[in-house]
Amino acid sequence: MIYNGDCLEVLAGLPENSVDTCITDPPYELGFMGKKWDSSGIAFQPETWQAVYRVLKPGAILLAFGGTRTYHRMVCAIEDAGFEIRDTIAWVYGSGFPKSYDISKGIDKQAGAEREVIGKYESPENTSGGKGRKFCHGGQPLDGLPDITAPSTPEAQLWNGWGTALKPAFEPIVVAMKPIDGTFVNNALTWGVAGLWIDGGRVEVNENEKEAYLYADHSQGNSNPIVPIVPSNYKRGGGNSQGRFPANLIHDGSDEVVGLFPQTTSGARAGGDDFKLGRFENESGAWGLKTGHACEASSGSASRFFYCAKASRSERNAGLEGMEERGASERNAFTGLPDKRMSHEQNRLPMQNHHPTVKPIELMRYLVRLTKTPTGGVVLDPFMGSGTTGIACVLEGREFIGIEREPEYVEIAEKRIAHYRLPIMDEVGA
């Protein structure tokens, strides 16, 4: 269900305690590009989150993205609305770039001094950063690469290399919960909502991390027979074959991010009684002793321990064929992050989906899956934008309620969601 309207008005018409999850990307309240919807203050108002609180079931999880400069204001409003703040997930990416004011250039400009052109910034070679990432220093337009200039005045030479912004590389996601009704057990049985789907959010492990746990049957005084007690494709990860325990860090898999993690080797284990895994009772009622056999160590970047949100660079326009394309000047945010998975060159191209803060579908699918209830559950997004949360719900088999005030984004969201939903409906014969 998609609503075009003010989220406070729409939420007031929804039943109390009827929604299982809220996953949303609200305005960061930065006022970029003169967008009215990003300077209304709505994400900082406790009343906004009180409206969300009312429609959520007890124990429901709220995941809300925020900007690093303004995140604290949003979280305080969420807490003041009655939610419990449970955690923060850091979404780390490598394709951001700063809009940093070049102080040296500013000094020369104020002095009326002309700077000598000594070169040209090169276009980025890939989407993960590197050369060309300084093209927006000094307030240069994003639709072209500026000249490299040398400071002219002595004061400008003194301040050469000084800027005003760091490269953006992560966005925080607050993990909040509407207080439970009694215990988690009672909440699960009464409301059908409790905690996170940990197994659904587990991080896959590599082939060389598989191991078989075997035991020696000591019940008949014979320590020689070795019998498998679990399938041979058992994987480490908190004792679960589905992978590693989900963490409060998510990355985009880019070379720039992976390079920040150390190279590690872990998990090696020799066999024998030095690695007893406990006792168990077999099918015949006899007790045996579990022992671990040799396990090869896994190695590589420590980033393998965390979820990697990979996204297609063309997914934002899927389903929007025939719609009017708009240029970069109509969709670039002041942060320089109109799409976290796209290169500078691609962001300059006109696109049908001109929403400035489109999230990767795989990232939203992961969050939708992590918060899934045993029966699926309804997901609410009161700041729907171009509909990526709705697409994730379609692909993960969850019901969706989206609210968006801007009609142009509603049209984009409807077409994008339909692009993914209709093939599924045709497949099931609905």
Q: List the single range of 24-33, 219-228, 370-379 with lowest mean pLDDT.
A: 219-228
* Alpha-carbon dihedral sign for residues 324, 330, 331, 332: positive
Q: Using one digit for the tens of pLDDT, what is the confidence trace for 235-246?
A: 333 344 567 788
Q: Are residues 335 and 418 in the same domain?
A: yes
**pLDDT at res. 120:** 79
Q: Based on the fold, state whether residues 335 and 188 are members of the same structural domain.
A: yes
Q: Are residues 32 and 69 in the same domain?
A: yes
pLDDT at 223 over 70: no
Residue of 58, 91, 62, 56 whose CA lies nearest to 75: 62
177 lies in the same domain as 219: no
- What rounded mean pLDDT belongs to the chain? 74
Q: What is the pLDDT of residue 75?
A: 98
- Contacts of residue 55, defined as CB under 8 A and 6 or more positions apart, other chains included, come to 11, 14, 15, 16, 17, 18, 19, 380
Question: Residue 204 has what pLDDT?
Answer: 72
Total tally of structural domains belonging to the chain: 3
Q: Is residue 388 within 8 Å of residue 359, measured between CB atoms?
A: yes
Specify whether 7 is located in the same domain as 86: yes
pLDDT interval class at 300 (50, 70, 90): low
Overall average pLDDT of the 19-45 stretch: 80
| DSSP-assigned letter for residue 15 | P
* Whether residue 324 is found in the same domain as residue 392: yes
Contact by Cβ (8 Å): 200, 372: yes
Confidence of residue 203 (pLDDT cuts 50, 70, 90): confident
CATH number at residue 6: 3.40.50.150
CB 103 within 8 A of CB 168: no
In the predicted structure, residue 337 carries a pLDDT above the cut 70: no
Q: What is the pLDDT of residue 335?
A: 32
| Angstrom distances, CA of residue 60 to CA of 163, 188, 290, 397 | 43, 10, 39, 18
Claim to verify: residue 53 and residue 178 sit in the same structural domain: yes
Same domain, 57 and 179: yes
In a domain, 12, yes or no: yes
> Residue 250 falls within a domain, yes or no?
no
pLDDT of amino acid 253: 73
Which is more confident, 268 or 48?
Answer: 48
Q: Each residue of 134-159: b (16+ CB within 10 Å) or e?
A: bbbbbebebeebbeebebbbebbeeb
Residue 361 in any domain: the answer is yes
Q: Are 325 and 285 contained in the same domain?
A: no
Alpha-carbon gap, residue 37 to 408, rounded angstroms: 13
pLDDT at 205 > cutoff 70: no
Q: Is there a domain that residue 331 lies in?
A: yes
In a domain, 252, yes or no: no
Is 314 within a domain? Answer: yes
Q: What is the mean pLDDT of residues 23-31?
A: 86
> What is the Cα–Cα distance from 295 to 209, expressed in whole angstroms?
8
- Name the residue with higher pLDDT: 407 or 29: 407
Look up residue 286 and give its amino acid: A
Q: pLDDT value at position 181?
A: 97
**Statement to judge: residues 60 and 23 lie in one domain:** yes
- For the ranges 26-30, 64-68, 305-309, 354-358, the lowest mean pLDDT is seen at 354-358
Can you tell me the distance from the alpha carbon of 3 to that of 384, in angstroms, rounded to the nearest whole number?
Answer: 9
pTM: 0.72
Q: Which range of residues forms the domain containing residue 153?
A: 103-158
Q: Which helix (H) or strand (E) holds 177?
A: strand 170-177
Residue 251 placed within a domain? no
Q: In this predicted model, what pLDDT tens digit does every residue of 33-59 receive, in sequence order?
A: 455 555 678 999 999 999 999 999 999
Euclidean distance between the first and the last CA atom of the chain, given in angstroms as a whole number: 17
* pLDDT value of residue 309: 61
pLDDT at 268 exceeding the cut of 80: no
183: exposed, middle or buried (Cβ count in 10 Å: 0-12, 13-18, 19+)? exposed
Which segment of 72-86, 284-298, 301-315, 414-428 scores lowest on mean pLDDT?
A: 284-298
Higher pLDDT, 133 or 283: 283
Residue 96's pLDDT band, with cuts at 50, 70 and 90, is low
Model pLDDT for residues 106-159, shown as the tens digit of each residue: 999 999 999 999 987 765 443 333 333 333 333 333 445 678 999 999 999 999
* Whether residue 37 is found in the same domain as residue 109: no
Together in a domain, 13 and 122: no
Residue 273 in contact with residue 223, Cβ under 8 Å?
A: no
Higher pLDDT, 158 or 385: 158
Band of residue 218 on the pLDDT scale cut at 50, 70, 90: very low
